[in-house]
Structure 1
């Protein structure tokens, strides 16, 4: 997982507002009606071409235009990617682009396997919920009831409150360890217990409490790894075997595996991973013994089977793994109306709801969305640390297919800011105890850089307000009564008042 300002400060969920005046509703009705006719009359080839030529940044200025997929891959130094689009509960198309292994000239196809990274958590939750459905564990009981080979070390921080399985799956257990770095191929691998204890050769901290369970949501791959141990302690089976037999096979995900390393699969089907500069990960990819949190190898075609089955089960029309009741429980946010459910995140755009999950392992990024109603969805998997192209593809796919709410693109007119004001903004601002944000400029261009992070450009929305194209965030410079800058207000998921140093 990448430790970026974006990851540190959280993601800003886009919201939209509607006018419900009669004239606006009529215009909206006829435009949607025309769009649906257009989509129905277009061929798959037409839709693929539109997706490939419709990539847009989240923020578009006056001179911005839709871009071609291959051009954006080159711009972001992405070697290869694969996508699938679901329409009316069926895969409308699945296609690969670029190379899985440029050195060997192995292209990405719809069969190429990528590391699914945190998407693994979604499939893990199916396995845990199946144990719950079969009455082999209680989602709301103390996890130590089921842990046999290791016990969670409760301390005073948890304030006597016990962690349950629903807490682990919804990131409300109050635990640390956001994500995992993985292990270079051929290097010693730790056991799950060594990972949880932070013991060599594990390369992550011991998993422990940060605050009482149920207090708030805090993403924790460490918590998901505890659920992995619960599953193996309860079933007595290897994790990859149980997931293969009880989840992947019933879903028809026959090309996918949780095995680490991925044995029994042709190397030509495994994509190598690459860093943000397009350089191959040493050993081609890392190994993740944290299987539930990050260990799945799959492709968009297989993931589409999982999404479609979830949609059908939610409607009570299928039950290959979970029935309707358990599926609805799984897709219900555990603490909030929006946010983390059990192994998935739920987003609601004015009544159009999606379940989904993002992905980020060393050398791999991606994400998926599935609609609650209508049988629509998309999957994007990229063999690069640079995941900026993921949202641009989502913007394009959702625009072409009319997937309401998923496109984050908006038009913004740039403001003119005087050199005098730009000079006033330069300096260092204390974002958090660990992070200082440095503001600099080159001519009229303004840049910010957080401690240990890449420099990114900021664009003026007004004289003192700026936005970013590469992250969903904004910042505002605040003057005191003498006209001097006293603080910077940084908004990205939450609001930070950063004092000037």
Structure 2
């Protein structure tokens, strides 16, 4: 999957925990002042209590919308913040967001409906049913074939992890142009690059083939089929797979934002691939979808899929590369036996859907920023505790905590926190070369070159074999006018990664600057 999936939610309750002992919490509205993270600091002051507003400011997340599921019902839904960094209007439960890759399990539900009706076969070679386009044969497909089961479980050996989207107003490719990677498509050709069935390898490209299969089997446009057979029966009244929003929908849609707070040109990108990434929806509608799947697994809803096919959907189909996949959903049995999940990330938007089919607890959360998952990672533990989720906690992302700490206390406090966590062997925190790198670039964006250098220098100490760490340090030295140090950093980066084109380019510039000029 795109990222290590964090249990994503929000602290939506203000009443004491004892009031929730009955198992039916009475949630209060989420506000910017809700405390969503405690950062342990050395000294008598104790932990730093971080509010949602502070996190949204630190991570450049204009708007957050959440729906919490308890006992197979929506217990609370609402929003905080605005639809845009500037000149937006308040986010509420009806605000539309791009669900991105959460489109995939919804698409899988439509595909399985056709299977349940005998109109498609999970294990048939898809080329037997594809009409307008065929999966090109190659050495990988000589013995094993691409099937719908393998497409839905990311085990078909298909390339193209995800898609970049298109600016509004620019030409959009047709389905066949996307499949063949021909202009104006901005993706490479979608092809089999591994033996089908050999491994789990996340592929948005596979879901484009799924779309082609569904359209050829139904003789209908994908968005129309999904509206009639999946979205409407479940009651997802505000959801659509159509590429363009209607004027009425656009008025209450969130605008995408980069992780540095820069608005996306045209407010959002378009995703004509449809099946893997184009769903516009709300957390409330996603919660309805999750409840439908969870209840159907127990034979108690089944408005779209019969119980046996839901059970097949939530059964392990493949495992590898850190993923355990069902048909459309990721399965997180190590956290809870009945937990099924999917994250989403398009440019300017991030989201998460998670549900425990055994306990009826879950949530959907969405934000209009490339940094939204950091907020969810920080605040998920509180909702899990308040609602009594029986899930194994995951490590907190150290980088997110450091970005917030730098916002509230300054960059040196964040660096000191990193050293504290290192002394504790990073217990309870996930980290890597990107942790300090993100902090360094945050300081660069704030024109604090000295602070950025301190972060990058600490990073190369922690990860001396990482070429990108030296590349980033070289950039900071260049910005500070420290030419010789920049040259040494880029040389080390190139030594570690001879294919680093940025280091080659920067070294050429720096060395020419070092040459004496004739007078």
TM-score normalised by the chain length of structure 1: 0.75
Shift of 1:97: 0.9
* C-alpha contact 2:82 2:88 (8 A) present in aligned 1: yes
Q: How big is each residue's C-alpha offset from its partner over 1:433-467, in whole Å with a ceiling of 9 and x where there is no partner?
A: xxxxxx952599857866499969xxxxxxxxxxx
Instruction: Compute the displacement of 1:210 (Å).
Output: 1.7
Task: Say if 2:389 is the partner of 1:403.
Answer: yes
Length, aligned pairs only: 409
Tell me, what secondary structure is at the counterpart of 1:294? coil
Indicate whether 1:346 and 2:342 are aligned: no
> How far does the alpha carbon of each residue in 1:127-147 deviate from its partner, in whole angstroms, 9 at most, with x for none?
000000000010000010111
Corresponding residue for residue 192 of structure 1:
175
Q: Match of 1:441? A: 457
Counterpart-to-counterpart distance in 2, 1:391 and 1:406: 14
Say whether the 8 Å CA contact 1:441–1:447 is kept in structure 2: no
Q: Aligned pair 1:166/2:149, yes or no?
A: yes
Question: Residues 115 and 351 of structure 1: is their aligned pair in 2 closer, same or farther, counting only changes over 3 Å?
Answer: closer
* 1:369 equivalent in structure 2: 354
| Matches of 1:309 and 1:177, distance apart in 2 | 30
Residues 352 and 404 in structure 1, CA contact (< 8 A), matched pair in contact too: no
CA contact (8 A) 1:50 1:400 kept: no
Following the alignment from structure 1 to structure 2, what is the Cα–Cα distance between the partners of residues 444 and 150? 49
Specify the alignment match of 2:111 in structure 1: 128
The alignment's C-alpha RMSD in Å is: 3.2
CA contact (8 A) 1:120 1:293 kept: yes
Larger strand percent: 1
Matched, 1:309 2:292: yes
Which aligned pairs between 1:11-22 and structure 2 lie closer than 5 A?
A: 11=4
Instruction: Give the secondary-structure state (helix, strand or coil) at the position aligned to 1:254.
Output: coil
Q: Which structure: greater helix fraction?
A: 2
Whether 1:263 and 2:232 are equivalent positions in the alignment is no
1:345-368: CA deviation from partner (whole Å, max 9, x where unpaired): 011136532111011001001111
Structure 2 residue aligned with 1:475: none
The aligned counterpart of 2:484 is: none
Written as runs of structure 1 = structure 2, the 5 A alignment for 1:33-72 is 38-40=20-22, 44-46=26-28, 48=30, 52-55=34-37, 64-72=47-55
Is 2:130 the counterpart of 1:147? yes
Cα pair distance change 1:389/1:46, threshold 3 Å = same
Task: Give the drift of 1:372.
Answer: 1.6
Residue range with higher mean Cα deviation, 195-204 or 382-391:
382-391
How far apart, CA to CA, are the structure 1 residues paired with 2:21 and 2:377? 22
SS for the counterpart of 1:355 is strand
Q: Partners in 2 of 1:225 and 1:289 — Cα distance? A: 10
Would you say the 8 A contact 2:256–2:369 is kept in 1? yes
Match of 2:96 in 1: 113
**Runs (5+) with no aligned partner, structure 1:** 1-5, 15-33, 418-425, 427-438, 457-486, 488-501
Q: CA deviation at 1:401?
A: 1.6
Per the normalisation by structure 2, the TM-score is 0.72
From the superposition, tell whether residues 49 and 186 of structure 1 become closer, same or farther in structure 2 (CA, over 3 Å): closer
Residues 1:253 and 1:414: Cα distance change in structure 2 (over 3 Å): closer
Residues 1:292 and 1:38: Cα distance change in structure 2 (over 3 Å): same
1:272 aligned residue: 255
Cα deviation 1:263-286 (Å, max 9, x = unaligned): 353322111101111111111100
2:376 paired residue among 357, 376, 390? 390
Contact 2:165/2:270 (<8 A) preserved: yes
Superposition deviation, residue 66 in structure 1: 4.5
- Gap regions ≥5 residues in structure 2: 8-15, 399-417, 425-432, 434-454, 474-495, 497-519
Deviation at 1:405, TM superposition (A): 2.6
Secondary structure of the 2:37 match is: coil
Q: Report the 3-state secondary structure (helix = DSSP H, G, I; strand = E; otherwise coil) of the residue aligned with 1:218.
A: coil
Q: How many angstroms does 1:333 deviate by?
A: 1.5
Classify the secondary structure of the residue corresponding to 1:404. coil
Q: Deviations over 1:5-43 (max 9, x none)?
A: x95xx64899xxxxxxxxxxxxxxxxxxx9787443885
- In structure 2, the CA distance between the partners of 1:455 and 1:443, relative to structure 1 (3 Å rule), is closer
Q: 1:49 to 1:384 in 2, by over 3 A?
A: closer
Kindly tell me: are residues 416 and 313 of structure 1, through their superposed partners in 2, closer, same or farther at Cα, counting changes over 3 Å?
Answer: closer
